[in-house]
Amino acid sequence: MIRTIGSKTIYSMTELGRALFLLWRIIVNGRFVFVDRRLYARQMMIIGVQSLPLVLLIGAFTGAVSTWQSNYQFGSLVPAKYIGVATFKAVMVELGPVLCGLVLAGRVGSSLAAELGTMKISEQVDALVVFAIDPVRYLAAPRFFAGFIMVPVIVTISVCVAIFGGFAVGFLFLDLSAQTFFGEIPVWFKMKDVQIMLVKSITFGGLVCLIGTYVGLNTAGGAEGVGQATIRAFVYAAVLILITDYLLALLLF
């Protein structure tokens, strides 16, 4: 048992160190963002724009469920005018960034791991090295910075859709007018809530793309290895998102 715990600990620390070293190389290669702007634009389109329909769907139903649950939990305790602000706070500070991060871990993180893993086992990454092209600059940096930039954008849009999704449920099923639902939001609005949402979104976006890129570039074992890398990228990203969310809550609140 001691041997197993020790070997797992050493393996985890080794993986963490290699991932951080990859992050450092990505940051260093960020100076080529203008030269490689077409690569960055393409990845921003794939990671951001193409993920938007799924994220908007998740956002709409998140807001709807939040409003319904707020009415169920607090309807008999607080006035109905506070249901809207309860939905607003829950979606903006917690549910929006976390759920979007988990969804993107499945859609973006797994996709990156599968794509780069296939390139790795088919020796396309080695071919780049032979032609004196840095794989980190050409493959990793555009994907990381695209997620770093686009995830906060799509999370912000998703939160807005979630709020209106919550209003739709309140208006159609709970007989809440627009004045009742939105009336208390300006009163309880704090810029810190927006800042927390953006910090979480940026962090989760960077985590998802870093893990997907790292796992993909270290794939081995043929087609089976690609499948395992896809699963591993999602699991690692999802677990780290939840852990990071807790740590950020301790720091930001």
> What's the mean pLDDT in 143-162?
92
What pLDDT does 82 receive? Answer: 86
pLDDT in tens, 177-224: 888 889 888 888 888 989 999 999 999 999 999 999 999 999 888 888
232-241 per-position pLDDT tens digit: 999 999 999 9
Mean pLDDT for the chain overall: 90
Residue 17's identity, in one-letter code, is G
The answer to whether residue 78 scores a pLDDT higher than 80 is: no
Question: What pLDDT does residue 112 have?
Answer: 92
Q: pLDDT, tens digit, for every residue of 97-136?
A: 999 999 999 999 999 999 999 999 988 998 988 988 899 9
Considering the entire predicted model, what is its pTM? 0.90
Domain that holds residue 191: 2-252
pLDDT in the model for residue 252: 82
Cα separation, 214 vs 129, whole angstroms: 17
DSSP 8-state code for residue 36: T
Give me the pLDDT at residue 187, please.
Answer: 86
Q: Are 62 and 91 in contact (CB under 8 A)?
A: yes
Tell me the DSSP string of 40-106.
HHHHHIIIIITTHHHHHHHHHHHHHHHHHHHHHHHTTTS-TTHHHHHHHHHIIIIIHHHHHHHHHII
**Identity of the residue numbered 60:** A
- Identity at 232, one-letter amino acid code: R
The count of domains in the chain is: 1
